[in-house]
Chain A
Amino acid sequence: MGTRIESAATSFRRGRLFGRGALHLTDAAARACLERAHHRADELDLLINAGIYKDRNTAEPALASIIQEDIGANLGGPVHMGHHGTFSFDVLNGACGVITAAQLIDGFVGHGSARLGMVVAADADPSPRTSRQFPFSPAGGAVLLAHIDGDGGFQRFELRTFPEHATLFETRLRWDPEAGFAHRGRNVLEVYEAPAFASCCVERAAEVVGATLATAGLTADDIDLVLASQYPRGFGTQVARRLGIPTDRVPEVRAELVAAHTAGPIAALEASIRSRRFAVARHSLFVTAGAGITIGVALYRN
């Protein structure tokens, strides 16, 4: 028994249209993802949102419940409906949220407590006028995960943190009494990234991937695809180089998705599905890196 990837989809802002925030991006990706796999929203047992930067920085409820409502997944309780419900919540684990969410869904779907789950993720600058150095492109993604009786699908998850590097990347919402109209004060989103952040992510990711492959009895040669975070830019290619994996095994994502945050690994997955490389890859390696420094790794087998 296991969990296989049924489909993936991404979304991004088309043209220069503003006002299309994280919720719109997530809803669009979620709908496209379900449509591609010919599944209905009410078949979902579990929906986890892993996006961090939400419209108006909404903290309550979990954005996943709003997405669930927007896509029409089992809206009411058994008083009004028929078969089963959908459970949704948010995971907040920076750039590694999609891997964490996939691991949680694998727990329920892989062992048969649930049949179908979806991870969604999107980030957009919550308030461009009062954010400083927001580095991520507005992008969303969704990946649909289904139960299989065979032994393929996700094989192993690894999540490691390196708190000695915790100060290399930090984002905060802070009250600035001088900001805003007439300097009346605003809550300002501030992003701090140290110059060493990107190289440190690559170094630590290579370390964690190396250990994970060794535990799984695999070598770099066995990896057919590297599906990586899109931020820091060039992260996937550099990790592949460090591990001795040919860089043509790192799919290129479309220009709008370069520097996507939590949806980064989904963008890479979608690109590999489109190019039909995912279907023929024996072993795919998901690798993500973000603040913490946190490294997420997942091994997937077709």
Chain B
Amino acid sequence: MTPWMLAEAGHAADAPFVARFESLGKSLPERRVTTRELMAGTRHHTKIDLERLTGIREHRMCGPGETSLSLAIGAARDCLGRSHYTGADLDMVISTSITHYVDGTTHRFEPPLSLSIKQAIGAPAATSFDLSNACAGMLTGVFLLNDMIRRGVIRRGMVVSGEQITGLGTNAAHNIRSILSLQLASLTLGDAGAAVIVERAPEGTPGIVLAGFTTLAEHSRLCLGMPAGHRPGARMFTRARKIHQVAMSEGPPLIEDILAQAGARLGEVDWLIPHQTSVRAIRSGERVLAEQLGEGPKHTVVTVDEYGNTASTTLFLALHRYLTEGRIHPGEKVLLLSVASGLEIGVVLFVMDELETTHGHPH
């Protein structure tokens, strides 16, 4: 039966190869700002306890000279530092950030950021482009690399993103008056960069077992981000509750349907890494999944409490964190789950292998 999502399984008759993750990298600004400090900066006096509502304690925030581009380059270099490859070995570089700041709040449309990133990491011959898919950007990039590696078009590529996105919160702080404000979600954001190398897996390696994506477009306008009218930077309007409701009603059957393509069940997943919007949303999603599918994953990863919602980088920042802490082990099944504006729902199911041993030990 055809799945609802556009999907590709790891081992299949139409593709000679399987893809897997080879290396991960991150880059975080040094500056830390607590949610309490952020809320203290709102222009209007509010009684919103955002930390209690979201479970987010802290956010990283870019300092002078740090931008979307510098975070992306930092993460790409960190990723290569843990990889067997150099930049020159990469066949493709895809930059997937929502924000494209290259200097303060100056946003560059052309040339694409991927061009500057591949230059910075010594990958001039790699095919490069940017893509935009809200917070699902990095997973979309992995979905595309997986397709090209499976078919043998390329051997390896990098997906990278740098999100200098806390400026949305700075702008929102001028307008927020109550918990109903459409700009409240802007105060949950954090700055971060992440990068991942996807390569052709050695024969017999399970690697990426399944990758699938779909867009539930009747909800496309629930979260809109654009440059601010009378302030530097951008602003974002989010119907967070509605997005959560849609994700809770549409997500479970979609996930069940797509996992069935790989002959898998959610109960067999060792680690679910969902998009990190708030601790409360993740816990509620966990409960709904378990109720509707009759079983849940063995563990659910939460890092939003410490980093905030870092937009397109959340999944790989979380994976990086848990690998560094030695919590995910070889042979375990990991499900990456994107839920993003659009409304995008994407999944990548993979089996942990050497990434666990090479990670956290730069050459």
* Chain A interface residues toward B at CB < 8 A: 45-47, 52-53, 56-62, 64-66, 68-69, 73-79, 81, 83-94, 96-97, 100, 104, 107-108, 111-114, 159, 161, 163, 166, 169-175, 180, 184-187, 189, 290-292, 294
Contact = CB atoms under 8 A, between A and B. Distances in A.
13 contacts: A56-B226, A57-B107, A59-B225, A65-B220, A79-B253, A96-B129, A113-B14, A159-B128, A172-B108, A173-B106, A174-B105, A186-B229, A186-B230
At the interface, is chain B mostly helix, strand, loop or mixed? mixed
Interface in B99-158: 99-100, 102, 104-112, 115-116, 118-119, 124, 127-134, 136, 140, 144, 147-148, 151, 153
B19 interface: no
Contact of A292 (B104, B111, B254): B111
Nearest to B97: A59
B179 interface: no
Interface stretch (B1-9, B51-59, B196-204): B1-9
B107 A172 contact: yes
B324 interface: no
Nearest to A93: B129
Contacts of B127: 159
A92 B131 contact: yes
B230 A185 contact: yes
Contacts of A90: 131-133
Given A87-B213, A111-B14, A61 B226 contact: no
A292 B112 contact: yes
Contacts of B133: 61-62, 89-90
A65 B343 CA distance: 7
B341 A61 contact: yes
A91 B129 contact: yes
A45 B147 CA distance: 15
Interface residues of B, number: 74
B216 interface: yes
A73 B217 contact: yes
Contact of A290 (B110, B230, B234): B110
Nearest to B127: A159
A184 B133 CA distance: 32
A83 B217 contact: no
A271 B111 CA distance: 28
The 10 closest A-B pairs by CB, nearest first: A60-B225, A75-B218, A291-B110, A61-B341, A77-B250, A68-B217, A175-B232, A65-B342, A85-B214, A89-B133
Contacts of B108: 170-172
B228 interface: yes
A281 B129 CA distance: 30
Given A61-B340, A61-B342, A85 B6 contact: yes
Contact of B109 (A73, A75, A100, A173): A173
A266 B215 CA distance: 25
B262 to A, nearest CB: 14
B264 interface: no
A68 B112 CA distance: 24
Nearest to B227: A187
B115 A66 contact: no
Given A69-B220, A88-B215, A113 B111 contact: no
B111 A187 contact: no
A291 B221 contact: no
